[in-house]
Amino acid sequence: MRTHDLNRLMAEAVKFNPRFATFSDFAQSLTEQFWEQHYPGGDLSEVGADYPELRQQAGELVAFIYTSIPPSDEPKQP
């Protein structure tokens, strides 16, 4: 699936693991800011104001994804 709508991706992730729902607000904020920046016309003064918080949430999401992936028996490629 190719999309810029992180809400759609989050809905698919929740089917895999309901705990992804905790990141719904994060996905919503990123999606809104993406559309505001790529299709401007309104007030952009608030875009990016919460980037430090979004970066932290992105790190938490990445960590959650890594802990959700079952370990592989295959050796890692260099």
Q: What is the mean pLDDT of each run of 10 residues along the chain (78 residues)?
A: 81 92 90 70 65 89 88 66
Q: What is the pLDDT of residue 4?
A: 73
Residue 23 in contact with residue 9, Cβ under 8 Å?
Answer: no
Q: What is the pLDDT of residue 68?
A: 83
The span from the CA of 42 to the CA of 31, in Å, is: 16
Q: What is the pLDDT of residue 75?
A: 63
Amino acid identity for residue 71 in this structure = P
